[in-house]
Amino acid sequence: MKVAVIQFPGSNCDQDALWALRLVGLEAELVWHTERSLEGFQAALLPGGFSYGDYLRAGALAKFSPVMQEVRRLAQRGYPVVGICNGFQVLTEAGLLPGALLANTNLHFTCKEVFLRVERTDLPFTRAYTPGQVLRIPIAHGEGRYYADAETLERLEQNHQVVFRYTSPQEAPSKEGYNPNGSLNDIAGIVNPAGNVLGLMPHPERAVESVLGSADGLPFFRSLKQALEVVV
């Protein structure tokens, strides 16, 4: 049950993801983007950062990395594949998830805490949450505005593929201001129809210890651990 943390040139949350995975007792290793085999790994995590400097478009150049063939193979075989932030952008660019991530409507990189509602708890990434639970998790991105055409959006909603949505904090409900980037339908994270490929803009690996201000991301990694134990 080993997780591959993919290192693209320019990834910068790779060590943070590794730390979080190991914190819950998962075995995890860094895999350089030129690797052509993910033999021995049962899951892949595409971390945050600026792969290829995010030049041209966030995630646009990373999809050509040799390791992506193997990530695709893992995904097709039903193993869990997670893309966080830049990793989510890479997954959409590579066509493993629908839609695209465009420049935030405020036009600048934004780093702050946001609130997320968990829409599904039957996934290998969310089983340790309760339905509708509201999480406090940081974001840090410049291109996180989820976009898909109307038809795709409709299909995502009907298939319950939206897993995380931006929301306001429970103690101060509000109708606006909580969506940090202009994402359609307040989408923060989605999953593929099979339920094994997940992408999200917020950073659960930055919220795994109370000393960091929130441990709401910990169940995310615990869920993954549980799921991988079942796989074996």
**Window 70-99: residues binding other proteins (CB under 8 A):** 92-93, 98-99
Q: Is 54 in the site for other proteins (CB under 8 A)?
A: yes
Residue positions counted in the chain: 232
Residue 116: phi and psi, rounded to 5, are -125, 140
Among 36, 112, 151, 175, binds other proteins (CB under 8 A): 112
Q: Is 148 in the site for other proteins (CB under 8 A)?
A: yes
Collapsing DSSP states into helix, strand and coil, what is residue 1?
coil
Collapsing DSSP states into helix, strand and coil, what is residue 102?
strand
Largest Cα separation within the chain, whole Å, is 49
Name the one range near other proteins by CB under 8 A: 4-12, 38-46, 187-195, 221-229: 4-12
- Let me know if 111 is a catalytic residue: no
Closest CA to 85 of 203, 180, 194: 203
**Minimum distance from CB of 170 to other proteins (Å)?**
16
Dig out the tokens for 142 from the structure: 């410049």
- Let me know if 151 is a catalytic residue: no
State the CB neighbour count (10 A cutoff) for residue 217: 24
Total number of residues that touch other proteins (CB under 8 A): 52
> Angle at CA 69, nearest 5°, toward 66 and 72?
145
Amino acid, single-letter form, for residue 69: Q
Among 100, 136, 168, 226, binds other proteins (CB under 8 A): 100
- Let me know if 119 is a catalytic residue: no
Binding site for other proteins (CB under 8 A): 9-10, 12-13, 15-16, 19-20, 32, 34, 48-50, 52-57, 60-61, 64, 92-93, 98-100, 102-112, 138, 140, 142, 147-149, 182, 203, 205-206, 208, 211-213
